[in-house]
Structure 1
């Protein structure tokens, strides 16, 4: 178990995914679920016994993600062809409060949800670098459990109900230890270095500005002070 506070307290984990529901129980739970929400994110039963609905996934990524570079218009001199060679990528950090709603089926697996999320943001990183987690809060503690590839997130949502405290879904890196930088390509590593350099320069700029403001205030105070 790691030092992440969200990894604490797994001894009382409620295993929503192991709850097998009969068709009548599914129908009843769908009605109860829809009665508890105050939005149009309802669940719907299908004739084949499956059901569809929305899940919300929060992004809790600590590393940048890679997306294709913006497409540049080709000139007539290029003959309408794009240059060949190494595929370039653009890397950036997703904001910490990023979240996405997905409309899925009760048959949709966790691995398919991850792939759909990456496609929504045009992320070109290998989906195996990411994992879907089930997060819950009980008795003042946060519980986090990694979903297996074949688990069905909408089934978890239905069994737990709509409360985000009882259950929420989180996308994180598929690692628990140190970052394995050898798993990244050379262009990705170069992009990471550029991002770190920009962040360092921005932090230095903020610190210099803060000290400059403090120095100006001290000088103003000295100028307004009467000797003696």
Structure 2
């Protein structure tokens, strides 16, 4: 496995997950999202201290619903996971950028009088170190979708294939890295790992944004309920009309 730039942060017995680029000649960016949890002690002592592999957890719909309830019960802020009627769920992940090399942006829009060669040049710049982005994602959002969304957000035109998602688990001064497949879902890992106790340490604008997202979700659920009851009411009115109409 190619070497990945390491983070300058440590937790005690915790599990976390991170984005980072492969260490080749075209590395630009390292991304990181937290999924911290204290690992529970088992009665039977393991011969070798190994991280928990959340991929092995095949959860039923009822088990996912129970885990979401347990997750929300541990959250100290308003950043709950929300269950949908179709069995899916939504929640937040925290992404931290760790810049290794400059990223490429589209060329600036030039006036016709300017040199055409200048307009064809890429613009490279460094993102501020440890830039943090909080994303609202669903249980169906895959790792490659998150990477692509982040690159689009910052209008980065580098190939998304340069970036890979790694699960990072630190325990007793040992760090474990596992590369996530493109179709793995970060929010599922976060659900299995549990909430981050420091998630309430957000800035005021970030919290306002979270409230707007939650309000939109609430309004959407209200519209669905109103529509469902309106349809039921119309059916009952039609049934009453049919009964009252002479045959």
Q: Which interval holds the TM-score relative to the shorter structure?
A: 0.5 to 0.7
In the other structure, the counterpart of 2:18 is: none
Shift of 1:70: 4.2
Shift of 1:18: 2.5
- TM-score (structure 2 length as normaliser): 0.56
In the other structure, the counterpart of 1:225 is: none
Which residues in structure 2 correspond to 1:25-40 (within 5 Å)? 25-40=63-78
Q: CA–CA distance in 1 between the matches of 2:106 and 2:189?
A: 33
Residue of structure 2 aligned with 1:99, choices 132, 144, 152: 132
In the other structure, the counterpart of 1:123 is: 156
1:17–1:155 CA contact under 8 A, matched in 2: no
- TM-score (structure 1 length as normaliser): 0.60
Shift of 1:30: 0.9
In the other structure, the counterpart of 2:194 is: 161
Q: CA–CA distance in 1 between the matches of 2:126 and 2:49?
A: 33
Residue of structure 1 aligned with 2:57, choices 19, 26, 37: 19
Residue of structure 2 aligned with 1:57, choices 49, 72, 95: 95
Deviations 1:128-154 (A, max 9, x none): 111111122211222221111011111
Q: Runs (4+) of structure 1 moved beyond 3 Å?
A: 1-7, 69-72, 81-86
Q: CA–CA distance in 2 between the matches of 1:52 and 1:67?
A: 30
Q: CA–CA distance in 1 between the matches of 2:59 and 2:100?
A: 37
2:88–2:138 CA contact under 8 A, matched in 1: yes
Shift of 1:156: 0.5
Corresponding pairs, count: 157
Query: Aligned pair in 2 of structure 1 residues 30, 98: CA closer, same or farther (>3 Å)?
Result: same
Aligned-pair Cα RMSD in Å = 2.9
State which structure, 1 or 2, has the greater radius of gyration over its C-alpha atoms: 1
Q: CA–CA distance in 2 between the matches of 1:132 and 1:164?
A: 22
Which structure features the higher share of helix residues?
A: 1
Which residues in structure 2 correspond to 1:1-228 (within 5 Å)? 6=6, 12-72=50-110, 74=111, 78=112, 84=116, 87-163=120-196
